[in-house]
Amino acid sequence: MKPLISVVTPTIPSRARYFEELGLSLESQTFKDFEWLYEVDKKRLGCARIVNGLAKRAKGEWLLIVADDDLILPRCLEVMLEYADDADVVYSPPLVWGNDSKHFFGEPPYIPSFGLIYKDLWDEIGGYRTDAIREEDRKFWIEALRLGAKFVRADKEPTWIYRFSVNPDGSFRNKSYNSGIAA
């Protein structure tokens, strides 16, 4: 029987510790009907290419793209599915470690990359644009909105944690990576 959700995670070698912690958070899920697909980007292909490749292999009806340095709370998958009945994308504002940015609490397309995406919508759009240097997620949300996708906000309880890295001088380090290189 195929899993209901395919969790997709691109990663790079320098973030192995964060990636391991994400794995532990996945093990704690109360909803167990999921697969976890991940790839270490050793060839510097970039986030979009890695995610697209993993999504092609996904067997689930839903995709959940999770950054390697984020954490998902134990009821994350369960709660997200509670909102999925009439949705094409289910999104949830995170708990944020290291920054109080309002960026995470907007409306589509100004939402984080974290979202439960109906696989048929992903396939219709063709995944992330590989020509995008940054914000491949936002470009995907814009295209989904253009196609009339229904976005539903899951706000019953927090479902995930977004972690910022802090430089020695106290400034925030961009946690994303492009072309396989940590920014």
Multiple choice CATH, 5-182, 1.10.3720.10, 3.40.50.300, 3.90.550.10, 3.30.460.10: 3.90.550.10
Give the chain's mean pLDDT: 88
- The residue whose two tokens read 């949830």 is 92
Confidence of residue 173 (pLDDT cuts 50, 70, 90): low
The b-or-e profile of 125-159 (16+ CB within 10 A means b, else e) is bebbeeebeeebbbbbbebbeeeebebbbbeeeeb
What average pLDDT does range 123-138 have in this prediction? 92
Whether residue 148 is predicted with pLDDT greater than 90 in this model: the reply is yes
Percent of the chain with pLDDT over 70: 85
Contact 149, 121 (CB under 8 A): yes
Reported as a single tens digit per residue, the pLDDT across 40-66 is: 999 999 999 999 999 999 999 999 999
- Quote the pTM value: 0.88
- State the Cα–Cα distance between residues 93 and 80, nearest whole angstrom: 11
Provide the token pair at 75.
Answer: 């009821």
Extents of the domains making up the chain:
5-182
